[in-house]
Amino acid sequence: MKTPTLIVRLAGLYLLTTCSVGLLQLKQAQAMVGQLGGTQNQMMADFSIYLWLGVIFGLGATLFAGRLARLLTFDSDPSEKSRDLSYQFLRR
């Protein structure tokens, strides 16, 4: 695995875990707050949207790390596998 792909995959995993934990904490906070006020419910809804977007982007970055890394590093030649050490070891 190349370094840019590893960096993108780790960033995706970071987004996935932090936003998942944030969603769990938000659900606990909603249970504790109950039905207090409309302002807090609106704020929690905004946080919920932000966290769900983070989960979706994190999952996408984790699953499609290679393509996203090529896009971000402007590497237009995906057939550069002959120089990749992991490809050489797996080929044997």
Exposed, middle or buried: residue 51 (CB in 10 Å: 0-12, 13-18, 19+)? buried
Does 12 have pLDDT greater than 90? Answer: yes
**pLDDT digits 0-9 by tens, 54-89:** 999 999 999 998 888 888 888 656 555 555 555 666
Tell whether the model's pLDDT for residue 19 goes beyond 60. Answer: yes
Give the residue numbers spanning the domain of 44.
3-91
What confidence score (pLDDT) does residue 21 get?
Answer: 96
Number of domains in the chain: 1
Question: Distance of CA 29 to CAs 23, 40, 46, 48, Å?
Answer: 10, 10, 14, 12
* pTM for this entry: 0.71
Q: What is the pLDDT of residues 22-55, one digit of tens each?
A: 999 999 888 887 756 556 777 888 899 999 999 9
